[in-house]
Every structure is written in C-alpha cells, then in structure tokens.
Amino acid sequence: MVDPHGRHVTYLRVSVTDRCDFRCVYCMSEHMTFLPKKDLLSLEELDRLCSAFVARGVRKLRITGGEPLVRKNIMWLFKALGRHLGTGALDELTLTTNASQLARYAGDLAACGVKRINVSMDTLDPVKFKAITRWGELSQVMSGLDAADKAGLEVKINAVALKGVNEHEVEDLVRFTHGRGYDLTLIETMPLGDIDGDRTEQFLPLSIVRARLLDKFTLVDIPYRTGGPARYVEIKETGGRLGFITPMTHNFCESCNRVRLTCTGTLYMCLGQEDAADLRAPLRASVDDAALMTAIDEAISRKPKGHDFIIDRRTKRPAVGRHMSVTGG
Ligand code: SAM
Ligand code: SF4
C-alpha cells in the first residue's frame, strides 16, 4: 500500500478495546463513558481485519488500547495473528501495555511469537504512580516487568513527560531502564480528547528535558530507528538508548508508515486528524474480502500529509476530540 505522498504503509496499530484498568491523567477523565460492548468487533472480526491488512502488505502489527490485556480472551487473538509470523507474511507482532496484567500473560505472549513489548511507565515513585494513573499500582507493573524478563521479551519503556510531575525524575528513569537492559522513550503529551485537567499545564517540551540531561550524561545522536517516530541517542555512561517522540515541537509525519484501527473497525489514517474510514460495514457485508479490500485501498488513498496538533490556549480545547485510548497510542 502506497499513499498519495509516496509513503509505504506497512504498520498497523490496532486498538482492541477502549477500556482500561487505569485512568492516566493525560489520557482519560476519571469518569469515562466507554463504547457499548455490542459496538466492538469480535476477536474473530479483528483477526479477519488484521489478516486483510497483512495480505495488503502490512509487516508489523501492534496491539494496543485502552489496555489490550484487559480484553477478555485476548490471547486467542495473539495466537491467531501469530500464524502470520509462521508463514513469514508478518515481521513483527507486538503490543503496548500498562503491564498491570503482564505477570499473568508474559509467557503466553512469548509463546505466540511476541518478541518485543512497549510498557508505559511514567515514574518509579509509587505515590506519583498512583497520582498519574489514578487506579494503578506500581508493584503490579514491576511484577509484570519481572515476568517479561523471565519470558525473554525485549522491553521498551515509554514515559510521558509531565511538567511538575516527573520532569526531575528522568535521570532515575534512564538509570533504571538501562540498568535492566531496556530502551527508554520519552513522549510529549498530545492534545487528544477531553480530560479533567488543563493540558497546557501538563505540557513539557522534550527540548528542555534533553538540555537538562546534558548536565548528567553524554548524549550521542544515533541513526537507530524502530520504524516509529522516535529519534534516538545513546547515553555514553549507561550504554543504553534513549528515544524522544516530539509531536508538538517537531513534525515527524514525513516518514509516517502507519495507520490505526479502532476496536469498532474505524480506520484512522492519521493520529492527529479526524478523517476516518469505516471498515466494519464492508467487513460485515460479506464473507469474502473483496469489498473490505476496496475500502482499505480507498482509505489509504486519502492518508493526509501530516497532523495539525495544537493546544488552543484560548479555549483549552483539544485539537482532536477522541481520546488516545480510542485510536490507540
Ligand atoms: N494502555 C496501554 C498503555 O498505557 O501502554 C496502551 C494504550 S495507551 C493509550 C498508549 C500510549 O499512549 C501510552 O504510552 C500512553 O502514555 C500514551 N498516551 C496516552 N494519552 C496520551 C497523550 N494525550 N499524549 C501523549 N501520549 C499519550
Ligand atoms: Fe489506560 Fe494506557 Fe490510557 Fe493509561 S495511557 S489510561 S494505561 S490506556
């Protein structure tokens, strides 16, 4: 699949549920209204949709949410999608998780062919962790990380940089993650969906974080890429990699190779735009995939050139109305 701007679309992110057992302050409001269960695609339908994308040339699938591991029977989907790794049609099957259920599932994930996972963890302080996630416990995540290590999964930690919350903890996060052999990626908050607080108060430009790190560490730019928007440095003192994802201060759209599917079968061609294609109707209209394939091709032909994220300081409204947990991070 090649979009109108000459970019090859080889990466599909799939949000398998909009629900979550945490309520991170930058992601959700405390009292979220979730989709009615009847609107969700079944696991069989998700398998069929993902498999259609694989047939169209997608080489990498990332399962996300909401929290993917809270969806009932989710290992069935991992097992089903794992077959594409066996045939060589797919290079990578992976997931992004808050790790709350990882202690239970790490072994099963590895058995399905998952090799690398992204775990979101913004702080090493249990009190701050509770404040950020509202409902989470840091100890659950730590047990999840131990289980991932034991299962042989490669781990990357994602941390959202939050002004006044974890901004002075980045050095500790670097030492902790690199000490365990993990990569660390820092992310700027993006204005997606209504939350209870004020987004302009949370936003911390990573340029500031990077400048502060220079007091402690030697940062060497490296060409390492994971197919995502992160730009990496190697930290001389730890030998580990640190990535920066800066959607607000740097436009990374020129190399975008991905599209995003929601748990209701809506395809978003860009995280930062409202335009979407409904794939559930063609999926359900027929048991053969002809109409679905046409709908996918038509959607890719509309992939926009880039996002227009901006936090409107006057109205404090998010640039994009839907939450990250709907589109999948
Ligand atoms: N629940 C899983 C997790 O937290 O890893 C997967 C879904 S979560 C929506 C995916 C990623 O999006 C997480 O790393 C989270 O920190 C990030 N995220 C959520 N809302 C965000 C926002 N407004 N700006 C930037 N990153 C955000
Ligand atoms: Fe849940 Fe992930 Fe959003 Fe936190 S960031 S509320 S863990 S979906």
Q: How far is the CA of 168 from the centre of ligand 2 (A)?
A: 22
CA distance 324 to 320: 10
> Ligand 1: does its nearest atom lie under 6 Å from the Cβ of 159?
no
Q: Which helix (H) or strand (E) holds 74?
A: helix 74-87
Q: What is the torsional sign of CA 79, 81, 82, 86?
A: positive
What is the per-residue pLDDT for 175? 98
Q: Which helix (H) or strand (E) holds 127?
A: helix 126-133
What is the per-residue pLDDT for 197? 80
**Ordered mean pLDDT values, 10 residues apiece, the chain (329 residues):** 91 97 94 91 98 97 97 98 98 98 98 98 98 97 98 98 94 98 94 79 91 96 86 97 82 81 95 89 96 96 77 56 69
Q: How far is the CA of 151 from the centre of ligand 2 (A)?
A: 24
Q: How far is the CA of 18 from the centre of ligand 1 (A)?
A: 12
Q: How far is the CA of 247 from the centre of ligand 1 (A)?
A: 13
CA distance 189 to 202: 7
Residue type, 315: T
For atom 19 of ligand 1, which residue has the closest CA?
A: 27
pTM: 0.93
What is the per-residue pLDDT for 317? 58
266-268 vs 60-64, strand pairing mode: unpaired
Q: Which atom of ligand 2 is nearest to the CA of 98?
A: 7
What is the per-residue pLDDT for 250? 58
What the block records as the tokens of 21 is 């057992």
What is the per-residue pLDDT for 304? 84
Q: Which helix (H) or strand (E) holds 107?
A: helix 102-111
What is the per-residue pLDDT for 254? 78
Three-state SS at 189: coil
Look up the CATH number of domain 11-327: 3.20.20.70
Q: How far is the CA of 286 from the centre of ligand 1 (A)?
A: 34
> Ligand 1: does its nearest atom lie under 6 Å from the Cβ of 15?
no
Q: How far is the CA of 290 from the centre of ligand 2 (A)?
A: 35
For atom 14 of ligand 1, which residue has the closest CA?
A: 120
User: What is the number of residues in the chain?
Assistant: 329
Q: Which atom of ligand 2 is nearest to the CA of 23?
A: 6
What is the per-residue pLDDT for 199? 79
Q: Which of 32, 43, 101, 23 is nearest to 263 (CA)?
A: 43
Q: Where are the domains of the chain?
A: 11-327
> Ligand 1: does its nearest atom lie under 6 Å from the Cβ of 113?
no
What is the per-residue pLDDT for 34? 93
Task: Check: CB of residue 201 under 8 Å from CB of residue 163.
Answer: yes
Read off φ and ψ for residue 7, nearest 5 degrees. Answer: -90, 135
What is the per-residue pLDDT for 154? 98
Q: Which atom of ligand 2 is nearest to the CA of 100?
A: 7
